[in-house]
Amino acid sequence: MTVLEAFGNIAPGGAKAARGRTETQSANLGTETEITMKDTVTRHDWTLEEIETLFALPFQDLLFRAQCAHREHQAANTVQMSTLLSVKTGACPEDCAYCPQSIRYDTGIERESLMAINDVAERARAARDAGATRFCMGAAWRSPKKKDIEVMVAMIREVRTLGMESCATLGMLTREQAKELREAGLDYYNHNIDTSPEFYDKIISTREFQDRLDTLEAVREAGMNVCCGGIVGMGETLRDRARMLQVLANLPQQPESVPINQLVAVPGTPLAGQAPLDPFDFVRTIAVARILMPKSAVRLSAGREQMSDELQALAFFAGANSIFYGEKLLTTGNPDVEHDRRLLERLGMRTASGAPGALLA
């Protein structure tokens, strides 16, 4: 099936007639916007220049290419739903400039100790009943201690007994810790690279970019799926966004989930006064991520509360096919459950089952 046939009968005369018109239009656009098979295969050799060329495409050309790649590899009009719960909030020793949970900033976030296992299980059950198929647990640690891992192992097992996929984001992991979590049944581990290697020290000074990559390697070695993306709107350049996506796409194995976060400028953090990102730049980032990582789930993550329904619809068309679902995304707002349901219904989109490969075409 060609990328055009994936759209079905899109015009009188069917896919064949549409293909003829589109090939003529594509030829008129020149080689830089020509649809090639490179856009529909997984590559690990993307150059920065290639990625910047994608970002520079006319907006509609970029979205068309992204949607073609999306339909070649992903189920059309389908969204995977996850719920994220902060199981330990605040007092993080790191100095991530975007994060309200850092102990270094006065953001009004109250410290909360690690939640009880039964309370987490109850929240996971409620998330499942509301339609989530994956339950993610986040803890504000630089890296967990042995006693923390023991509690997390029990939480993971509770989530798995509910028939849900499990995910955790707990900071940096050793290989031994990653192995323990996998043996407990953890399906996904989230550890974002946040931004480009070149811009990284403008955002974080308490760890190195390589520390992020080392944790990702430990997670892969343990046999877990990787959830890894970044944040846009922190004052980075377009080249930084391209470079961040290059690092992700050129990993030995691309992440199964790629969350693209839009900065939530929380008062009290160093980025509180950061100007909002142009919405079209956000959608371009989604589209380029989809082209570079066609088999990955691309997730709309932090910042969705500030997005209009129209912007979210554009992001879905650009290739986003996963969202965090529920009232809170760690310590910042998230669109409520009923609003999400209404939006997906208005767009004619369905939710994916929790079965492995449910998003794939």
Please tell me the predicted confidence (pLDDT) of residue 134.
87
More confident residue, 92 or 215: 215
Higher pLDDT, 200 or 91: 200
Span 236-254, mean pLDDT?
97
Q: Is pLDDT larger for residue 143 or for residue 228?
A: 228
Cβ partners under 8 Å of residue 184, min gap 6: 152, 153, 156, 157
pLDDT of residue 41: 73
- Residue 261: which of 108, 124, 351, 138 has the closest Cα? 138
Residue 18's pLDDT is what? 37
The 10s digit of each residue's pLDDT in 304-326 is 888 899 999 999 999 999 987 76
- Cross-strand bridge partners of residue 190: 227
* 351 strand-pairing partners: 79
pLDDT above 50 for 150: yes
219 vs 357: which has the higher pLDDT: 219
Hey, what are 205's tokens?
A: 């000074």
Q: What is the pLDDT of residue 139?
A: 86
Give yes or no for a contact between 65 and 308, defined as CB atoms under 8 angstroms apart. Answer: no
> Each residue of 17-37: pLDDT tens digit?
333 433 433 333 444 444 454
Mean pLDDT of all residues in 60-86 = 92
Nearest to 266 by CA among 110, 142, 105: 105
Identify the pLDDT of residue 30.
41
CB-neighbour burial class of residue 10 (10 A; exposed 0-12, middle 13-18, buried 19+): middle
With cut-offs at 50, 70 and 90, classify the pLDDT of residue 336.
confident
Share of the chain above pLDDT 90, in %: 56
Residue 66 has pLDDT above 60, yes or no: yes
What's the farthest any 2 CA atoms get from each other in the chain? 65
Averaged pLDDT of the chain: 84
In this predicted structure, what is the pLDDT of residue 112?
Answer: 78
Residues marked active site are found at: 92, 96, 99, 136, 167, 227, 299
Summarize pLDDT for 33-49 with one digit per residue, the tens.
Answer: 444 545 557 899 999 99
| Whether the Cβ atoms of residue 140 and residue 90 lie closer than 8 Å to each other | yes
